[in-house]
Amino acid sequence: MIFYFSGTGNSLFAARQIAEAQNEQLVSIAEELQKEGSVLEYEFGGNDLLGFVFPVYAWALPEIVLDFISRIKIRGKPYIFSVSTCGDDEGNTTRILQKELNRKGLSVDSAFTVIMPNNYIIGFDVDEKELESEKLENAKKKLDSINSAVSKRQKGVFDIIPGRFSGIKSGIINPLFNRFGRSTKPFYATDECTRCKICEKICPVHTIKVKEKPVWGKQCTQCLACIHRCPVRAIQYGKMTVKKGRYVHPDTR
């Protein structure tokens, strides 16, 4: 079973590649969190796979993934692995995941980082097309390597990219991001909005409601799917995204 969370499709692509190669069920974390009850139970056999595939947000796990982990109850002892996708490095993301799983009596057997095109256009612009293509090609090769390790149930493989100053990034910047950087107030839609409701349908936390134009509630993961996947580029985040490019994984379009 492969649990995934994805905004613009990078992690979804990675999760699909693994699920297809391993003949495993692909499960959306966002959809699982819509289920009633405080506990989400899953049962596994001794040689079964339990994978977590997700993007890195400000050098840590997205809050929605942490919320999911806090609710799960795993029966059995599956082989557990994780795949984090990011534009550059993951900081201490895997260490944080390991800590959260340890609270559940679980442990990551192997972990991997896959570099993907950047999509956090609130802070940066999208990658140049040449770099984007290079990252996508390298990601396919990395996923082949991951599938090989997972198929063999290899343990102790931590092919991750913490990067420099990982403690500062994950320990200081990430909490600031979660406290101040996830506000929905700067979101707005321009007059180009056609009220197609794509943003409302794809929002993982269902915070967008389209009336005359999209209206955002208070909850937000900052996945930016609404911005990137708007077909007419009508959605902006203050002035920070107006002149920036847009990115959606080619297989998500």
Domain(s) labelled CATH 3.30.70.20 in the chain stretch across 187-237
Q: Is the pLDDT of residue 191 over 90?
A: yes
Structure confidence at residue 102 (pLDDT): 98
Domain(s) labelled CATH 3.40.50 in the chain stretch across 2-177
Residues constituting the chain: 253
Q: Is the pLDDT of residue 214 over 90?
A: yes
- 253: pLDDT confidence band, cut at 50, 70 and 90? confident
Top CATH class of 187-237 equals alpha beta
What is the number of other CB atoms lying within 10 angstroms of the CB of residue 22? Answer: 15
32-56 pLDDT, tens digit per residue, is 999 999 999 999 998 999 999 999 9
Report how far apart the first and last C-alpha atoms of the chain are (Å, whole number). Answer: 25
Task: Reduce the DSSP state of residue 97 to 3 states and report it.
Answer: helix
From the list 5, 56, 55, the residue with the least C-alpha distance to 27 is: 5
List beta partners, residue 111: 82, 158
CATH of domain 2-177: 3.40.50
162-190 pLDDT, tens digit per residue, is 999 999 999 999 999 999 999 999 999 99
Structure confidence at residue 46 (pLDDT): 84
